[in-house]
Amino acid sequence: MDNQTETTVGRHRKVILFPLPYQGHINPMLQLANLLYSKGFSITIFHTNFNKPKTTNYPHFTFKFILDNDPDDQRYSKLPLQGMGAFARVFLFNQIGGDQLRHQLELELLAKDEPPVSCLITDSLWHFAQSAADSLSLPRLVLRTSSLFCFLVYASLPLLDDLGYLSLSDNNRLEEHVIEFPVLKVKDIKKMAFKRDNDAIGEAICNMVKQTKASSGIIWNSFKELEEPELETVLRDIPAPSFLIPFPKHFTASSSSLLDQDRTFFPWLDQQPPNSVVYVSFGSVAQVNEKEFLEIAHGLEDSKQSFLWVVRPGFVEGSAWVEPLPDGFLGEKGRIVEWAPQQEVLAHEAVGAFWTHSGWNSTFESVCEGVPMICSPFWGDQPLDARYMSDVWKVAVYLENGWKREEISSAIRRVMVDEEGEDIKERARVLKQKLQVSLKKGGSSYESVDALVAYISSF
């Protein structure tokens, strides 16, 4: 049986999924694809050649590469492949990709001997996809890969800008709470580092919000009990249905990893006592300078706790990997790897805390495993996630003042050693338990999967 036949036999409806080509977006979209496949849908993935996932890990899906097939097209072939500059592709394809996407969708709709297409599901940041889908009367759902809380803050960017928060220069007001979002401090808004106008990211976010509201439905990587007040607001403000599904509880993200995952440290981790190791990772995009890197290293060393530290090649500006570390830095207490199977690490009983950049996937994977966090957000949604985890659920310590070794070691010890840490761990355990309950028959997450399947089948 060829691949095409194998993926479609006995499957009566096809869903086309189109992730944003970055690790934190590809993971939940491919988890969603696996979930829908397990419910009987045929799956086609649209993807850019840039950051393409390992298709051999998904023999049950059909992949179509779109938007950047011409190696000579200078508009995208010259864009940076690493760091924040790589995001320029998103802005560009949102501007120029409409015709191509529409054409590709038309081919799918007309394809013979294949199941009919139910709907298109795109990352919410592919806002240009809404008009392409509309023009073909194809329902488009969005996958929003952040928290609901973050979406509501993003939806209020124009208001926050009008109120002067985005351009505030008065440093005396940084500790004030934001009246519109009382859990946030003014400095959290500043740390997002957005402007509304003359800023490609701000513009993309405003368009994302607009076209998410125009979509046929929103899928969130979350669960109801985690963000109940936010869900109420979303349901009040947006007519399309929302489905909250905790993807890490359905599938791991390992098969969609763009980097090879090191597993050689597991024999070492297996030997560590329960809750004794700090897992450290700052995601797939963030970078620090050499001075900050050394503060992290000294903070870890001074905490006197065992650690497993992911240092992605390119994480330290100007260095290939960990060259700036002092000789003999790694004793028996620590391991450094380039990339890890993060969900497995968080689920390991030796891991007692996660020092994270507070990207939503990392944050939510930690919640799913009941692991307390130490938060060092960089920008975007990260400061919002950090604040929500530390001040709403109190399952995290927020390192609010940058990279200072004394504060780092003290935050690690607060979670790992001090009495306060016991309370934080207990709250993280209770939150995980709420999630487990939601997954049982009749629970909110369980029902959400059923509702999504029924909804997609109804088109």
Q: Which residues bind ligand UDP (CB under 6 A)?
A: 23-24, 27, 253, 257, 281, 283-285, 310, 339-340, 342-343, 359-362, 365
Place of tokens 């903070």: 299
Residue 197 bears catalytic tag:
no
Closest distance between ligand UDP and the C-beta of residue 425, in Å? 21
CB–CB of 367/395 below 8 Å? yes
Comparison of 258 and 451: residue with beta carbon closer to ligand UDP: 258
The smaller minimum CB distance to ligand UDP, of residues 276 and 287, is found at 287
Among 138, 68, 139, which Cα is nearest to 110's?
138
User: For ligand UDP, which is the closer residue by CB, 108 or 365?
Assistant: 365
Nearer to ligand UDP (CB atom), residue 42 or residue 362: 362
Nearer to ligand UDP, 27 or 130 (CB): 27
Residue 113 identity (one-letter amino acid): D
211 Cβ neighbours under 8 A, 6+ residues apart: 124, 127, 129, 130, 142
What residues does 251 pair with on adjacent strands? none
- Distance CA(220)–CA(181), nearest Å, equals 21
Strand partners, 14: 42, 117
The nearer residue to ligand UDP, 11 or 263, going by C-beta atoms, is 263
* Beta carbon nearer to ligand UDP, 23 or 118: 23
Determine the Cα–Cα distance for residues 164 and 189; give it in Å rounded to an integer.
11
DSSP 225: G
DSSP conformational letter for 382? H
Query: DSSP states of 136-180 as a string?
Result: TT--EEEEE-S-HHHHHHHHTHHHHHHTTSTT---GGGTTSEETT
CB of 410 to ligand UDP, least distance (A): 24
Shortest distance in whole angstroms from residue 418 CB to ligand UDP: 26
Please report how close the Cβ of residue 379 comes to ligand UDP at its closest, in angstroms: 10
Identify whether 250 is a catalytic site residue: no
Neighbours of 3 (CB within 10 A): 13
- Least separation in angstroms between residue 458's CB and ligand UDP is 31
φ and ψ at residue 345, rounded to 5 degrees:
-65, -45
What's the token pair of residue 28? 């939940």
Least distance between ligand UDP and beta carbon 61 (Å): 19
133, 118, 167, 222: which is closest to 453 by C-alpha? 118
**Phi then psi dihedrals of residue 181, to 5 deg:** -135, 80
Q: In this complex, which beta carbon is closest to ligand UDP, that of residue 34 or of residue 284?
A: 284
Give the Cα separation of 14 and 281 in Å (integer).
36
β-bridge mates for residue 219, sequence order: 143, 243
Distance of CA 144 to the CA centre of its chain: 9
CB of 286 to ligand UDP, least distance (A): 6
Q: Where are the alpha helices (DSSP H) in 214-289?
A: 228-237, 266-270
Beta bridge partners, 140, equal 120
Alpha-carbon span 241 to 15, nearest angstrom: 18
Catalytic residue among 47, 68, 123, 381: 123
| Shortest CB 153 distance to ligand UDP, Å | 16
> Which of the residues are catalytic?
25, 123
